[in-house]
């Protein structure tokens, strides 16, 4: 499954990551940046370190998991 990770900086200077499952591909950097601007402007999320204050980065992440059968 792929996820789009949006990384922000909060008032404490810590990185806060929000993950969105199954993003539309190909990911449009302009749209992602604009969406992050809206999140910042509308102060949508609360964090333990205060409000989000800046965009840091965004990335598309794919994780593959393969179960290993164990003997019980």
For residue 62, the model assigns a pLDDT of 95
Asked if the structure places residue 68 within a domain, the reply is no
**What is residue 71's DSSP assignment?**
-
5 contact partners, CB below 8 Å, separation of at least 6: 17, 18, 19, 20, 58, 59, 60, 61
Domain extent at residue 39? 2-62
Residues 40 and 59: their CA atoms lie apart, in Å, by 18
Asked if residues 5 and 23 have their Cβ atoms less than 8 Å apart, the reply is no
Asked if the structure places residue 51 within a domain, the reply is yes
Asked if residues 11 and 48 have their Cβ atoms less than 8 Å apart, the reply is no
The number of distinct structural domains making up the chain is 1
For residue 1, the model assigns a pLDDT of 85
Asked if the structure places residue 69 within a domain, the reply is no
Q: pLDDT truncated to tens, each residue of the chain (72 aa)? A: 899 999 999 999 999 999 999 999 999 999 999 999 999 999 989 899 999 999 999 999 999 989 999 999
């Amino acid at each position: 499954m792929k996820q789009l990770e949006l990384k922000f900086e909060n008032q404490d200077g810590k990185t806060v990551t929000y993950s969105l499952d199954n993003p539309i591909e190909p990911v449009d950097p302009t749209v992602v940046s604009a969406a992050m601007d809206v999140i910042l402007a509308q102060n949508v999320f609360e964090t333990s370190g205060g409000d989000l204050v800046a965009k840091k980065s965004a990335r598309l992440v794919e994780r593959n998991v393969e179960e290993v059968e164990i003997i019980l």
